[in-house]
Amino acid sequence: RSSVCCGQSADQSVLCRSSVCCRSVCRSSVCCRSVCRSSICCSSVCRSSVCCRSVCRSSISVCCRSVCRSSVCCRSVCRSSVCCRSVCRSSVCCRSVCRSSVCCRSVCRSSICCRSVCRSSVCCRSVCRSSVCCRSVCRSSVCSRSVCRSSVCSRSVCRSSICCRSVCRSSVCCRSVCRSSICCRSVCRSSVCCRPVCRIISLL
């Protein structure tokens, strides 16, 4: 009939009216093999181009194999912010859980830990904040190996023109040119060039 499970009916052994082909019981919300009406858990194609493994509801971003509505393709559970394989809405593509701050493979929005390019030109390995640890260029021109703060340890150029190996503070150990009271290898301001620890008025 209108809502029928029709494994054996007067029609054929597989077809139901309203183009619903199901294994067991068909209702307004239907689990089926091929085409379903409404928001449904099915094997192949659902209305609003939702193809899901398990259970679909009406107003849900859905976990699916291929394409979900609002172009969300995810592995497990989808929410408004979605973890997905390829493209998520608001251009967030992530491995695990996505929130407003997102870890992603390619393009991120806000302050983000990512592999390649983030908004405000932040490219980082692990966790990004307003001050960011990154491989190449971070905002406020800080490029560092590990953790970046207002004072930063970096390979090349740190803000306040400090280039250091380990930890940078107002007193800094560096390879090349330092400003303030600093322990360094080559040239420091106020003509202090030392190997170990430098103070304001000390030459070693």
CB 35 within 8 A of CB 45: yes
pLDDT tens digit sequence for 16-30: 333 333 433 333 333
The pLDDT tens digits of the residues spanning 103-120 come to 333 333 333 333 333 333
Whole-number pLDDT of residue 15: 35
Q: How many CB atoms lie within 10 A of CB 202?
A: 11
% of the chain exceeding 70 in pLDDT: 0
Q: Quote the pLDDT of residue 20.
A: 37
- The pLDDT score that the predictor gives to residue 57 is 32
- Cα-Cα end-to-end distance for the chain: 96
Kindly report, residue by residue over 129-184, the tens digit of the pLDDT. Answer: 333 333 333 333 333 333 333 333 333 333 333 333 333 333 334 433 333 333 43
Burial class (CB in 10 A: 0-12, 13-18, 19+), 10: exposed
DSSP state of 185: S
The total number of residues written for the chain in this structure: 204
